[in-house]
Amino acid sequence: MRVQSPTVKDSSNELGYGVGLAARFIVESGALDRPFVLLDIGVRGGVHPRWLALEPALEVYGFDAIAEVPTPNDRHHYFKLALGERDGECTFYVPENLYEARVSAEGRCKVPIAKLDTLWARGVVPPADFIKIDCEGYEPEILAGASEYLRASSLSGADIESHFHVATSLPYSHFAAVNAVFIEQRLRVADLTLQRAQEADQPWNGTCNVLFARHLLEESRDDELSANAILKTIAIFDIYGLIGPAVALTRRFQAIIAARIDISSLERKLILSPKIGTLERHLPHLGLGLWTRAKKLLTQ
């Protein structure tokens, strides 16, 4: 089957997007002794630009059932494969808007499907720091096939498309199903955006995007937290535009991370990030060259 180019993805319920000054500073300081591993399920079009702040410490493993995704460098690994609760083959429904393609009994396109647990056992994917899933309602099935993998990963965060509708298979809602899985991984809801019903053919509020993250301030004793886990969580909050939690972690755990990074510089980057983001949104008329130079001077 020949697959056409996807239409533009609806971003009306997009989670916050930070400019990533602090995340970039963490990487450039060499503060991480291991790569940041992102697992992106539903990666059509490539990873979100927010993740570029973590290059070159970023390692990506992306999955899309029907699209070939170009790899920008050898740290990005993309697979034309559906993920779910079983290994074998599944039928895929492919509408005109390819961003709405999904596993469905109504589909005519047959594609291979695998469990994350199977890929983990075969050494195809390493443990992840962050998992993003946008698969048109199939998120609970994907997580059901990833129990061993999630236990091995020690996630710092997750970005999931979800909704609050109920069904026979989801009596407490899609959100309740994914939330139950992430609670077991010590992840809590850190941010949520809901797509509001605006049209007559939308009688109820639609999908939401949910950011889950570790609440390190409420976890166990400081000596059980690694500098890597703290810095990666700070970076996640920064690139999602959640500056308050990022600054709180920097101040609370400075004794642990001070050997890796300059604390005062990190905090300045965090405080400056939203200011630069606001300028980028409100001063598009500056021109690329002038704005790039101005931003460089501001960050210095």
Residue 156 lies in a domain: yes
Say how far apart CA 75 and CA 60 lie, in whole Å.
6
Rounded-to-10 torsion of CA 9, 12, 15, 16? 110
What does the pLDDT read at residue 224? 78
pLDDT mean across residues, the chain: 86
Residue 147 lies in a domain: yes
Residue 122 lies in a domain: yes
Which domain, by its residues, includes 241?
Answer: 21-273
**Tell me: the pLDDT tens digits for 149-180?**
999 999 999 999 999 999 898 999 999 999 99
**How is residue 266 written in tokens?**
């990190």
- Provide the 8-state DSSP code for 51: G
CA distances 286 to 27, 74, 279, 295, Å, are 29, 35, 10, 11
> What backbone phi and psi angles, to 5 degrees, belong to 162?
-145, -175
- Single-letter residue type at 96: E
The pTM is what?
Answer: 0.86
Residue 6 lies in a domain: no
- Single-letter residue type at 20: G
Residue 150 lies in a domain: yes
Residue 249 lies in a domain: yes
Residue 289 lies in a domain: no
**Tell me: the pLDDT tens digits for 270-279?**
998 776 655 5
- Helix, strand, coil distribution of the chain in percent, nearest 5: 40, 20, 40
CATH number at residue 252: 3.40.50
Q: Is 245 helix (H, G, I), strand (E, B) or coil?
A: helix
- Provide the 8-state DSSP code for 286: G
- Single-letter residue type at 112: P
Total domains in the fold of the chain: 1
Residue 11 lies in a domain: no
Say how far apart CA 94 and CA 298 lie, in whole Å.
46
